[in-house]
Structure 1
Amino acid sequence: MDPLEGEASSPVAYEPVSVKDVLVEMKDTAELLIDLSYSAVLHRNVGLAEEVLRLEERMDVLEMRARMSLLMAARSPDDAERLAPVLSIVAATDGISDAAGDIAKIVLEDIRVPEAMRAALPEALETLVRGSVEADSPHAGRTLKGIDLESKTGVRVIALRRGSEWLLNPGPTTRIEANDVALLRGPDSAIGEVYREMTGEAYEPFDPDSPAVADLERAVDTIVHMKNLSELAVDLAYSSVLFDSEALAEEVRNLEVEVDALESRFEAWVLRAAADAEDPVSLRGLIHLGTSTEVISDAAVDISEGVLRDIEVHPVVGMAVQESDEIITRIEVAPESALDGTAVSGGVPDAEVTMSVIAIRRPEEGWLLVADADTELRAGDVVLAKGTRSAAEQFEALAGT
């Protein structure tokens, strides 16, 4: 019997769980699902696709528990009004999960994408792999701080699955155990050795043919950009709710408009590529991928809808905010301000402030994801950055806003 079969149909009983904790876990799960599903397709990795389906089933359970808890919490019309946006967040998050599952099925159901797709990917794109930790691994029984993988190799452990339980945000004190399923992300040059040390097996990367159709290269570049913008939209959507920020919610709308425009161009390029492809049916998976990506960006708008409609945030959301000092802030660089002309390399601005720039919306050029390239801030740039509250205040002051 397939190990994935039968799990989703298990009954879900009501448990007095914290709605706040469930919402945080749903957010973390959604973000990991997006990452895993695209990596499964772009690297044609069946193992990653199977983990997507496992996480999708976990999300179904979280959604049911969240709905039960929210229904129990509604005791008056005022409660119902304030909880309605939270229900929208739950539904939209489940929609993201379903879209990620559809993306994974491109691999599992052999819907087919061009063999040349992997070769057309940007060289800077990191590899994500899945492996089971062997008992004799030098990493088994040690904490992530003790292993210090990231500083030594650039490879990060982004999640661990221990049986049916998931550790979605492993930190320095997280201990890797034998038989854990580890999800590793890092550069191609280092991922193979780390994978071998973890699993005791050789890493065999997917070796595709070279791309033969120019429009296919453009289509793949576009879908990678759509994926990155959709991930950013989901991150901003949750942040707009957590911090009741209409400015961030508006940026979610802007991102969704950009993804819609990219999808239109993407479909045109795929259709043009079909005219020159030896097997046009092999392009079907790309269309499937584009449609699911748009679903994810639409869901991000649904998550932030309550903020856009100026509905008061329920206290359960405020409780989640109080636990984290890290926030996302949006600033506009004023002419001749301290940030006008400031260099940004790998997301870190050349300024006396500990903020990480994650994206820039430039009026004439559209969106620039800073992790993909080095750039220089200009007057008029709308900058999205992540950091502590105190650093955010300093950053806003430097921008002249």
Structure 2
Amino acid sequence: MEPDVAYEPVSVKDVLSEMKDTAELLIDLSYSAVLSGSDEVAQEVLALEERMDVLQLQARMSVLMAARSPEDAEQLAPVLGVVGAAEKIANAAGDIAKVVIEEIGLPDAMRAAIPEATEALVRAEVTADSQYAGRTLGAINMETESGVRTIAVRRSSQTGKRAWITNPDRDTGIEAGDVLLLRGMDEGLATVYEAATGTAYEPPEPVDSPIEDLDRAVDSIVTMKDMSELAVDLAYGAVLFDSEAVAEEVVELEAEVDALKSRLEAWTLRAAAHVEDPVELRGLVHLAAATEVISDAALELSEGVLRGLDAHPVVAAAVEESDEVIVRLIVGDGADIAGDTLGELELGTETGTRVIAVRRPGEETAWVVSPDADTALRAGDVLVAKGTRAGAERLSTLAGDPQAFDT
């Protein structure tokens, strides 16, 4: 039964900010559930989707209450667009999670899509005798000691109501019964998971596929996920900086995702002729459709910027309220970072930001999504980075693009 929602005075900025954080978390969680085959993580997605339903209703009611004239309606219409796009992302994430929960059908090769060097996401419930219970994240010092980050905390009250902390910080206290959503490498996760739950962590075993077309389809799903997630990040960045240039990058990514979806459908149909039970491939088609919805929603987020509409100040304020910001930079001639690899530069340590994509205009493969330590930077590259505002400003100076925040 759906929870009752009644109008109550709320800060539109706070609701929009929580919706942004929740939407980004949902994308991460839903795909982690698929790649790891975890019913538990998939159930967390559905629980978080319910929270998003409440948030979007609260946001719509508050916007309607604020509109008192045609001028107000014109200013607030883009706000409703942002709300609607975030809701679509949440619904798509729920559809992705249902692929696991309803056993729609996925090849075992999906688990082989997790590279060994990629961080995994795990759900861990804190037991009463855990060494974490009753301590703050700062006191636990989890990330420094194990390389594992707590990206969200779900807490249930005595009445059974669930509360989410989507941006936990060092002052966030951990209680017995809390569900921690942890991201890190397997070795660190094993230590943290056992400390939280008292049981050993068992990572999923990768399974190789002997079918080439199926491998291509699975690789396409992972690339679509990365591109859609990047498109959402860029869309919020376009709103924050009122940047048409960043919004145009979202347009290109959305087109790339559409093209990947078409190729994936072809490879899946070809692979169906070589598997014992073609029904097990249905999940790939479902994943592709849901991922396309996410990229379409990112385009909707950018639509106001693309059409030259001024974003309502509350939207930009809500995006800026997030712990992390998005910045688009162009590496200038003679820049400090030109000619070096990301591994050599150690930008995460130096600036507190991470490069989440590199675009090379003119190349057949324009986007390098989720670049690794071996990715070399050169003059003319377009970098998309995520981190603190101060760190992003430092990176813009290193890139020789100090005007990045004025676009």
How far apart, in 2, do the equivalents of 1:118 and 1:195 lie?
A: 20
Q: Is the 8 Å Cα contact of residues 343 and 349 (structure 1) preserved in structure 2?
A: no
Indicate the larger mover: 124-133 or 278-287: 124-133
Q: SS of 1:376's equivalent?
A: coil
Q: How does 1:232-311 map to 2 (within 5 A)?
A: 232-311=230-309
Instruction: Return the TM-score normalized by structure 2.
Output: 0.90
Q: Is the 8 Å Cα contact of residues 148 and 188 (structure 2) preserved in structure 1?
A: yes
1:301-322 Cα shifts (integer Å, max 9, x gaps): 0011111111112121243366
Measured after TM superposition, the shift of residue 238 of structure 1 is 1.3
Structure 2 equivalent of residue 181 of structure 1: 179
1:94 aligns with 2:87: yes
Residue identity (%):
61
* Displacement over 6 Å in runs of 4+: none
Note closer, same or farther for the CA distance 1:204–1:336 as it changes in structure 2 (3 Å cut): closer
1:33 aligns with 2:26: yes
Measured after TM superposition, the shift of residue 346 of structure 1 is 8.7
How far apart, in 2, do the equivalents of 1:138 and 1:78 lie?
A: 56
Measured after TM superposition, the shift of residue 246 of structure 1 is 1.5
Structure 1 equivalent of residue 198 of structure 2: 200
Measured after TM superposition, the shift of residue 29 of structure 1 is 0.6
Residue 138 (structure 1) aligned to one of 119, 131, 143: 131
Q: Is the 8 Å Cα contact of residues 113 and 222 (structure 2) preserved in structure 1?
A: no
1:17 aligns with 2:10: yes
Q: SS of 1:221's equivalent?
A: helix
Structure 2 equivalent of residue 379 of structure 1: 379
Counterpart amino acid of residue 206 in structure 1:
P
Q: SS of 2:267's equivalent?
A: helix
How far apart, in 1, do the equivalents of 2:324 and 2:121 lie?
A: 26
Instruction: Return the TM-score normalized by structure 1.
Output: 0.91
Counterpart amino acid of residue 36 in structure 1:
L
Q: Is the 8 Å Cα contact of residues 356 and 370 (structure 2) preserved in structure 1?
A: yes
Indicate the larger mover: 78-87 or 371-380: 371-380
Counterpart amino acid of residue 106 in structure 2:
V
Structure 2 equivalent of residue 367 of structure 1: 367
Indicate the larger mover: 191-200 or 139-148: 191-200
Q: Is the 8 Å Cα contact of residues 344 and 350 (structure 1) preserved in structure 2?
A: no
1:361-396 Cα shifts (integer Å, max 9, x gaps): 112022113454431212221112235556555544
Structure 1 equivalent of residue 342 of structure 2: 344
Structure 1 equivalent of residue 102 of structure 2: 109
Superposition RMSD on alpha carbons, in Å?
A: 2.3
1:83 aligns with 2:79: no
Counterpart amino acid of residue 194 in structure 1:
V
Gaps of at least 5 residues in structure 1 are 1-5
How far apart, in 2, do the equivalents of 1:107 and 1:23 lie?
A: 29
1:29-55 Cα shifts (integer Å, max 9, x gaps): 111111111111111111111111111
How far apart, in 1, do the equivalents of 2:246 and 2:367 lie?
A: 14
Counterpart amino acid of residue 73 in structure 2:
A
1:201-259 Cα shifts (integer Å, max 9, x gaps): 23233335432212222222221121111111111111211221212111111211111
Structure 2 equivalent of residue 50 of structure 1: 43
1:113-147 Cα shifts (integer Å, max 9, x gaps): 01232124322222211121100001111111111
How far apart, in 2, do the equivalents of 1:392 and 1:209 lie?
A: 39
Note closer, same or farther for the CA distance 1:350–1:51 as it changes in structure 2 (3 Å cut): closer
Q: Is the 8 Å Cα contact of residues 351 and 391 (structure 2) preserved in structure 1?
A: yes
Q: SS of 1:129's equivalent?
A: strand
Note closer, same or farther for the CA distance 1:139–1:180 as it changes in structure 2 (3 Å cut): same
